[in-house]
Amino acid sequence: MKSATEYLWFETRQPREYINITPDVAEVVEKSGVQEGFVLVSAMHITAGLYVNDAEEGIIRDIDEMLERLAPKGPDYHHHRTGEQNADAHLKSLLIHHEVIVPITEGALDLGPWQQIYYAEFDGQRRKRVVVKVIGE
């Protein structure tokens, strides 16, 4: 069994951003030498998430608008009483989830024809990171 761990760093410029990290994850998988296994990709922040979906601007906007409807910015959340103002970002992270697991087959990510891995930032404009852990043979 082989394993490899790398960290991806992001300096986000917007409060909310959706970043396609598929090429970065594929590079980590290739360098690992794993031919058959899995890669875990996990956001290391409580106001970010990861998901697999289409790399099409319309669906990215639809995802963003859905999350804003479900966890809108601004309401009087309990978390705001602690001095923070980012409760919506925490809730959006829970809705998206903080990690994805993708199979590796013949040394490459085994994604469907339109699938891409996205890092979703909900409380940006600062440095953030993702851990990429490859495990397999």
β-bridge mates for residue 115, sequence order: 54
Q: What is the CATH number of domain 2-75+84-136?
A: 2.60.120.460
Give the model's pLDDT for residue 126.
86
- How many secondary structure helices (H) and strands (E) does the chain include? 3, 8
Question: Tell me: the pLDDT tens digits for 124-135?
Answer: 888 999 999 999
User: Tell me: the pLDDT tens digits for 96-122?
Assistant: 999 999 999 999 999 999 999 999 999
Q: What is the pLDDT of residue 125?
A: 87
Contact 29, 108 (CB under 8 A): yes
- Express each pLDDT in 29-82 by its tens digit: 999 999 999 999 999 999 999 999 999 999 999 999 999 999 999 878 999 999
